[in-house]
Structure 1
Amino acid sequence: MAKDLKIALVGNPNTGKSTLFNLLTGLNQKIGNFPGITIDKKVGYCKLPDGKQAEIIDLPGTYSLYPKSKDESIVFQVLADKNNASHPDIVVLIADATNLRRNLLLYTQVADLEIPMVLALNMTDMARKEGINIDVNKLSERLGIQVVAISARSNAGLDELKKAINNTTSIATQLKGADILALAPEAIEATKKRIGTENDYFALQILHQHQHLADFTEVDHAAFDQIRKANNFETSTLQTAETIARYRHLGTVLSGVIEDTGAARKFAFSDKIDAVLTNKFWGFLIFIGILFFIFNAIFSWSQYPMEMIETIFARLGELGHEYLPEGVLSSLLLDGVLAGLGGIVVFIPQIAILFAFISILEDTGYMARVTFLMDKIMRKFGLSGKSVVPMIGSIACAVPSIMSARTIESWKDRIITIMVVPLVSCSARLPVYTLLIGLVVPEKTVWGFINLQGLTLMGMYLISILAAVLVAFVMKIILKAKEKSYFIMELPVYRAPRWTNVLYTMYEKSKTFVLEAGKVIIAISIVLWVMSSYGPSDRFEAIDKKYAAIEAQKDSVQISTLERDKSAERLENSYAGILGHAIEPVIRPLGFDWKIGIALITSFAAREAFVGTMATIYSVEGGDENVVKIHDRMKAAKNPVTGLPVFTFATGFSLMLFYAFAMQCMSTVAVVYRETKSWKWPLIQLVYMTAMAYVASLIAYQLLK
């Protein structure tokens, strides 16, 4: 469907740009990549008051058009290059009304590119509470564009913003933020002539960062470099001069526009809270307390919905076996697809709770404090403060976290971050942890409020973070680089979480988890069912003859027991069983049997495949007809040699440690290759993480058995 307007949302980080994007587009949005690069492109669709359909592009947050990272370079590429597929008809620049002067620096740069623009003053309600009053009409008159006061968090001013977009046709008519031509007259004139433009600022930006634009040939790039050299064009000096000139201009523009009656108390509230939350001692104690609360809630709050989902899938399996005709297709559907899918869907409540808390922590501004708190510690172990953001993000998923490492300027810090981020326990490990914890850790509460299962889950996450930090320290010693890294971060003001945004995040992440994991699980379940149901014909014929002879001499109760024994023996001699037994000698010292071995192999496609694999294996094997839940079947499983439970305390913890450290995610391997442009780093990562997993599991099992 053709779109009438293409609108780009532009703004500094922490201005509410993404919240506004979600408000404008609702669920009518998608995520892809910008052409030719791996940076995320968020696009949504919105209907305007006059009936026009608008395509909304959420560009990465940036403080200026001079990029400090790959993400930020996208903003200039999209806005400056009219041939870019994402080049907008209108720019909506979102500015934080509580810090307007700093936010308008980016506005003056975008305005000089001569694109029609609307200025959205976000957080105006918060500005008023802080004693900041902005004369919107006077500001609009001085800038020569429409200015709209909004509050994305409380959904205020949205209709006015849509009307302003409808009525925007001309470029800003303000006086220029700086005399651009005076900065480098000869170089700018030569560049304008070369590219055929009358825009001074566009020509200046081409000289600064033409290498980021794909629209030019090698001859063009060489010509720009020659112009720079001939005119002694110094990028850093000119950028500084331009910034100073723009701030002088903004002083004139904002004179009489902003009345700040609360300057003295403006940050008093935030400062008092930060004195505690970023304190070296209390800050860490509070962070640990919050983590414990989250992981305790993941177990406690999800118990009833998980039991309900388990019961529904168990009942579907019972009805299927009762009403569907016996045969290959029914077995595939019930023991393969349904069992595997049920093993994933049951964890939706826990995934939703995890992402709800992550969204709340980000929305309130607390996550930024955690990043600040961890900066000094991370530096001692070879990581930049900017590495904290990808590491915390990895609690959700390592793939976008690895991509977010592009914001780290230092090559060494970026590589180390990429190499250790997959060690941090992600949401894909959550189903594995919770299943195993439920099997080997008693559901007890000590001291009235500490849930042992929640405490164990938090321990697994802390172990993974500690492992990532220690590996980073080793890599800091091994990798050599002369670059100096720095960490500058703006701490956003504290805000109440926007609950609709939290609910949307829960829905979106749960849907992604089910759809992405579901595709893998169903494919693996089908392959695994085939491998578990079939085997070498001579072996299966021998088993059939053996049990046929025994059945002729037994009664119906004994025959029922023999059916279970026969199913177990057929599974053991199936292609899956043969594969499991082949690797069993290698994994036996870790406490794993051949069934767990099969799950380890399938998990290299995706970690959460462990749960679906175990569900399929135990469904194919059969068992007590009164025990239909996979969790209960696994708990009842016995070692045929020792007669002890398969999933003992030692085996459970050994298996959890293996999943904590092993690189069992093909998507992560692929994105590391894509980000480093080399197979060297993903292969090193695969080898060292697998070795760590094996050694940790071996030590744990041998000590605990």
Structure 2
Amino acid sequence: MAKDLKIALVGNPNTGKSTLFNLLTGLNQKIGNFPGITVDKKVGYCKLPDGRNAEITDLPGTYSLYPKSKDESIVFQVLADKNNSSYPDIVVLVADATNLRRNLLLYSQVADLQVPVVLALNMTDLAQKEGINVNVDLLSKRLGIQIVAISARSNKGLTELKQAISNTTKIATQLKGTDVLALAPEAIQKVKAKIGTENDYFALQVLHQHYNLDHFSEVDHAGFDQIKKATDFETSKLQTEETVARYRDLGKILTGVIEDTGAAKKFAFSDKIDSVLTNRFWGLIIFMGLLFFLFNAIFSWSAYPMEMIEFIFAKLQELGHEYLPAGQLSDLLLDGVLAGLGGIVVFIPQIAILFAFISILEDTGYMARVTFMMDRIMRKFGLSGKSVVPMIGSLACAVPSIMSARNIENWKDRIITIMVAPLVSCSARLPVYTLLISLVVPEKMVWGFINLQGLTLMGMYLISIVAAILVAFVMKFILKAKEKSYFIMEMPVYRMPRWGNVLFTMYDKSKTFVFEAGKVIIAISIVLWVMATYGPSERFAEIDKKYAAIEAQKDSVQISTLERDKSAERLENSYAGILGHAIEPAIRPLGFDWKIGIALITSFAAREAFVGTMATIYSVEGGDENVMQIRDSMRLAKNPETGLPVFTFATAFSLMLFYAFAMQCMSTVAVVFRETKSWKWPMIQLTYMTVMAYVASLIAYQFLK
């Protein structure tokens, strides 16, 4: 796709910038990384009215160009380096019409970098409801740029915004307001001469944060440090002076632009709700009630679509065995790839429900309240208030949550957060939990409205959260983290969720789960099928000889039974069986047999592989005629020594605890290495979580059996 124009979306957090990005790009977007940095880069594409194609980059939300976190530093990095692949032709600055003065601080800084800007004035409908009227034409005249009033939530003003982008020239925008040169004249002049720029504000910003700019050499950094030393350049003092001066100038610009007739009642509705939802007692009770509702819904609402998916895959396997020519290739396709894939696709309804609820909680503004409430509790256990966001985010996935810990300035608080975040049960554990719970917990209602399976699932999530907090408490003393940290965040007003955004999140996260997990599952399923189908030739020869002699003396019914016995014996003597038996002595005290041992090994790449592994193992063991659903196969599995079911309550609960605490995610190990720049922390994490999982499973099984 030809990109005729590069656009950067810039704005404060909670201004609807990401919603606008989704509206402009639709499904035509992708996730990558900024060059040399592990920060996510969201890029999408759209067609402009003049026929040009636009590449749109959604930059991280920030209140100003002075970063408080690694993510926020990306904004200036992109706008400062014209050789950066993401450097924009035009900046679309998204501003909240209900809090325009604060939002225009960032605009004034971007404008002083002399980048062409279009101002998208978002939430204008909400502003009018709150009694705030913005004279867009007057503001546009004073700033000298195009301003478009939009409502991203209501999909209003999108056409006008695209037209404004099309009409914008590449002539630099410059705000005639703050006299930047007066802040540090000598230092700014020296930097301008050193780097060859005429832009006073760019020179000032370089002095403030040149270490964030990779295109400068070590010699350049040393030169900038010398200039700061020679001119008594004080970063924090000058940033404060600049901010005060900008707000003073913005006050003049906004005079007569904003008419606020509802200042007294602006946040009255949100404040009334907060008095209950953030209450020290009732707030936590309501939050626990919402969690229970979520986990109850995951089981209750997903039951029928899951049964339908299971039926479809079982039918595909049955038809495949009936119509495809018998042979190794058909077995690989049906018992390897199809069985493994079915074990993942069946959980799409539950994954979609989980992310739908998370999206609704974020969209309404409730998730911000949860972080505020939990801050009070988590500080007592040595975690920063800013650790709440990564911890809650880990309910979906630990990888982006660990990356979001960059917002924690205190190094030790950040390390503790990174070390405990993977303990919080993520969506990858959900298929394991739901499969095992469905095997040993009856599907019945307690007190007429509580789903017992949903209650058990909620219990597993609470166990993981409590474990994370307790481990953080222990690490607080080990790392001796005495520094104080502060948690400051803006509470957004309550809003109705954007249902289109919720549906998009459900689709996007489900697709990511299937394709990302699916690639791993299919690869593992193929390898596992080969390992489970083949083994040492002498062992297989003895099994074939043994059963050939027995079959000669049996009738057709008995031969059918013998075929299943033969398949089971071949599986036990396959390469996979040999591997499983090799580790069985170590896992037998946990209640696990050699088949579960194989799943433990394969799922060290990704936890979801447990389900696919079980599906493949029982498909291979069952032979061509066994196309039972995986749950039925596991439910009927018997211990050959005792004749009792393999998956008893003790074994299932032991296995769930193992998956709750074990790392078993190579992606998480990799991202911890990237974030800490050392193998020390991921190795410590992998070790302590594995030991914790083993001990917890051992205690649970020995106590419950």
Shared fold by TM > 0.5?
yes
Task: Report if aligned partners of 2:532, 2:577 keep a CA contact under 8 Å in 1.
Answer: yes
Q: Which residue of 2 aligns with 1:111?
A: 111
Q: Distance in 1 between matches of 2:16 and 2:113?
A: 23
The equivalent residue for 2:412 is 412
Q: Superposed, which structure 2 residues align to 1:219-258 within 5 Å?
A: 219-258=219-258
Aligned position for 1:515: 515
- The one-letter amino acid of 1:696's match is A
Cα deviation, residue 483, structure 1: 3.3
Q: Does 1:574 align with 2:603?
A: no
Is 2:673 the partner of 1:673? yes
2:427 counterpart residue number:
427
The aligned counterpart of 1:374 is 374
- AA of the residue aligned to 1:601: I
CA contact (8 A) 2:108 2:175 kept: no
CA RMSD of aligned residues (A): 1.0
Q: Secondary structure at the match of 1:87?
A: coil
Aligned residue for 2:425, secondary structure, equals coil
Amino acid at match of 2:682: P
Which residue does 1:48 correspond to in 2? Answer: 48
Corresponding letter in the other structure for 2:28: N
Deviations 1:221-242 (A, max 9, x none): 1111111000000000000000
Distance in 1 (CA, whole Å) between partners of 2:116 and 2:59 is: 16
Percent identity, aligned pairs only? 85
Structure 1 distance, partners of 2:524, 2:585, is 24
Amino acid at match of 2:254: L
SS at 2:153's partner residue? Answer: helix
Spell out, residue by residue over 1:634-669, the C-alpha distance to the aligned partner (whole angstroms, 9 max, x if none). 000111111111000111100000000001000000
Match of 2:330 in 1: 330
2:190 match: 190
Residues 277 and 283 in structure 2, CA contact (< 8 A), matched pair in contact too: yes
Secondary structure at the residue paired with 1:120?
strand
Q: Report the AA paired with residue 171 of structure 1.
A: A
- SS of 1:45's equivalent in the other structure is strand
Deviation, structure 1 residue 2 = 2.8
Distance 1:571 1:219 in 2: 64
Amino acid at match of 2:203: A
Query: TM-score, normalised to structure 2's length?
Result: 0.99
- Structure 1 residues 643 and 624, CA gap change in structure 2 (3 angstroms): farther
Instruction: Tell me how far apart the structure 2 counterparts of residues 221 and 602 of structure 1 sit (CA, whole Å).
Output: 48
Q: Deviations over 1:404-451 (max 9, x none)?
A: 101110000100000000000001000000000000100010111100
For 1:309-335, what per-residue CA distance to the aligned partner results, in whole angstroms no more than 9, with x for missing partners?
100100011111111111111111111
Match runs of 1:601-640 below 5 Å: 601-622=601-622, 625=625, 628-640=628-640
Displacement of 1:484 in angstroms is: 2.4
Cα distance in 2 between the residues matched to 1:192 and 1:325 = 76
- Give the deviation of 1:626 after TM superposition: 6.8
User: For the Cα contact (< 8 Å) 1:41–1:58, is it kept in 2?
Assistant: yes
Distance in 2 (alpha carbons) for counterparts of 1:51 and 1:623 = 58
Residue 624 (structure 1) shift: 10
Q: 1:350 matched to which residue of 2?
A: 350
Structure 1 partner of 2:87:
87
Distance 1:616 1:172 in 2: 61
Indicate if the aligned counterparts of 2:413 and 2:481 stay in contact, CA closer than 8 A: no
Please show how residues 498-647 of structure 1 align to structure 2 within 5 Å: 498-622=498-622, 625=625, 628-647=628-647
SS in structure 2 opposite 1:32? strand
Contact 1:627 1:633 in 2 (8 A): no
Corresponding letter in the other structure for 2:104? L
Matched AA of 1:211: Y
Q: Aligned partners of 1:460 and 1:271: how far apart in 2? A: 34
AA in 1 matched with 2:259: E
Q: How far did 1:85 drift?
A: 1.3
Query: How far, CA to CA, are the matches of 2:458 and 2:642 in structure 1?
Result: 32
Aligned residue number for residue 260 of structure 2:
260
Q: Structure 2 counterpart of 1:594, which letter?
A: W
The answer (yes or no) to whether the contact 1:623–1:633 under 8 Å persists in 2 is: no
Could you give the per-residue CA deviations for residues 594-651 of structure 1, whole angstroms, max 9, x where no partner exists?
A: 1000000001010000000000000000079476111101000111111111000111
Q: Residue type of the partner of 1:155?
A: N
Asked if the contact 2:112–2:175 (Cα under 8 Å) also holds between the matched residues in 1, the reply is no
Long gaps (5+) in structure 1? none
**Match for 1:617: what amino acid?**
I
Shift in Å, 1:569: 0.7
User: Which residue of the partner structure matches residue 299 of structure 1?
Assistant: 299
Where in structure 2 are the equivalents of 1:657-696 lying within 5 Å? 657-696=657-696
Where does the alignment leave 5 or more consecutive residues of structure 2 unmatched? none
Code of the residue aligned with 1:70 in structure 2: it is K
Q: Distance in 2 between matches of 1:627 and 1:154?
A: 48
Distance 1:216 1:482 in 2: 35
Counterpart residue identity of residue 681, structure 1? W
1:485 is displaced (CA, Å) by 1.1
CA–CA distance in 1 between the matches of 2:36 and 2:316?
A: 46
Aligned to 2:385: 385
CA contact (8 A) 2:317 2:627 kept: no
Aligned residues: 704
Matched residue, 1:462: 462
- Counterpart secondary structure, 1:538: helix
User: 1:522: Cα distance to partner?
Assistant: 0.7
Alignment match, 1:171: 172
Q: Partner of 1:190: helix, strand, or coil? A: helix
Letter in 2 for 1:464: S
Q: Which moved more, 1:594-603 or 1:218-227?
A: 218-227
Cα distance in structure 2, aligned partners of 1:280 and 1:401: 26
* Matches of 1:625 and 1:80, distance apart in 2: 65
Contact 2:114/2:174 (CA < 8 Å) preserved in 1? no
CA offsets, 1:471-501, max 9 Å, x none?
0000001103453211100011111111111
Distance 2:627 2:230 in 1: 82
Tell me how far apart the structure 2 counterparts of residues 456 and 376 of structure 1 sit (CA, whole Å): 27
Given that 1:9 and 1:58 are in contact with CA atoms closer than 8 Å, whether structure 2 keeps it comes out as yes
Give yes or no for contact 1:368–1:492 (8 Å, CA) kept in 2: yes
Is the 2:112–2:174 contact (alpha carbons within 8 Å) kept by the matching residues of 1?
Answer: no
CA distance in 2, matches of 1:686, 1:144: 56
Mapped to 1, the partners of 2:624 and 2:452 lie a distance apart of 29
- Structure 2 CA distance, aligned partners of 1:269 and 1:276? 12
Tell me: CA distance 1:114–1:626, structure 2 relative to 1, closer, same or farther (3 Å): closer
1:530 alignment partner AA: V
Question: Secondary structure of the residue that 2:38 maps to in structure 1?
Answer: coil
> What amino acid sits opposite 1:667 in the alignment?
S
Runs of 4+ residues over 6 Å off in structure 1: none
Match of 1:155 in 2: 155
- C-alpha displacement of 1:172: 3.1
Q: Look up the match of 2:438.
A: 438
Counterpart for residue 77 of structure 2: 77
Could you tell me how far apart the structure 2 residues matched to 1:498 and 1:190 are?
50
Query: 1 CA distance for matches of 2:491 and 2:160?
Result: 29
Displacement of 1:173: 5.0
Shift of 1:4: 1.1
In terms of mean alpha carbon deviation, does 88-97 or 621-630 score higher? Answer: 621-630
Judging changes above 3 Å, is the alpha-carbon distance between structure 1 residues 146 and 668 closer, same or farther for their aligned structure 2 residues?
same
AA aligned opposite 1:62: T
Q: 2: CA distance between counterparts of 1:624 and 1:62?
A: 58
CA distance in 1, matches of 2:415, 2:626: 52
Contact 1:145 1:171 in 2 (8 A): no
SS at match of 2:569: helix
For 1:649 and 1:684, how far apart are their aligned partners in 2?
A: 31
Q: Could you say what secondary structure the match of 1:535 adopts?
A: coil
Amino acid at match of 2:257: V
SS in 2 for 1:485: coil
Deviation per CA, 1:546-598: give whole Å up to 9, x if none.
11111111111111111111111111111111111111111111111110000
